[in-house]
Homo-oligomer: A and B are copies of this chain.
Amino acid sequence: MSVRHPGVSTDDCPVREILDRVGDKWSVPIVVLLGERGHRFNELHRRIDGISQRMLTLTLRTLARDGLVSRTVHASVPPRVDYELTELGRTLLVPVRALDEWAREHRDDIRAARQRHDAG
C-alpha cells in the first residue's frame, strides 16, 4: 500500500465497479437488445439464446435497481411488463458499443493468439 505508487483499489477504480455490475453473463446482451427498442419479458427470453427465466428476472432486477432499465407494468390481461433503457442506460450503450466494435474487429486476433499459444 505505497503512497507514492497509488495502486488500483476497488474504491478508486470506478470501471471495476461498473464491470462488477455489467460484466456478468447477461447484462450486456440485455442492454444491447433494449437499446434496439423496448421489449417484454418473454420477448427477451426468446431472443437471448440460453438465458433462463431466473437469470433474466435477476439481471433485469439489478439493472432496474441501478437505474439503467425501467420496468413498466401494464394492468392488462394477460399481464404485460415492458422493459426499456432509461436515459442513463442509453448513455451506457455508447461505451458498450465501443467494446462491441473492438470485439468484432479483434476476435480473430484473439482466436489466432490462443491457437498459437495452445499449439506452441
Contact = CB atoms under 8 A, between A and B. Distances in A.
A29 B8 contact: yes
Nearest to A2: B46
A113 B67 contact: yes
B66 A91 contact: no
Interface residues of A, number: 58
Contacts of A109: 67, 88
Q: What is the predominant secondary structure among interface residues of chain A facing chain B?
A: helix
Interface string A78-120: 0000000000100110111011111110110110111011100
B94 A106 contact: no
Interface in A1-39: 1-2, 5-10, 13-25, 28-29, 32-33
A65 interface: yes
Interface of A: 1-2, 5-10, 13-25, 28-29, 32-33, 46-50, 64-68, 88, 91-92, 94-96, 98-104, 106-107, 109-110, 112-114, 116-118
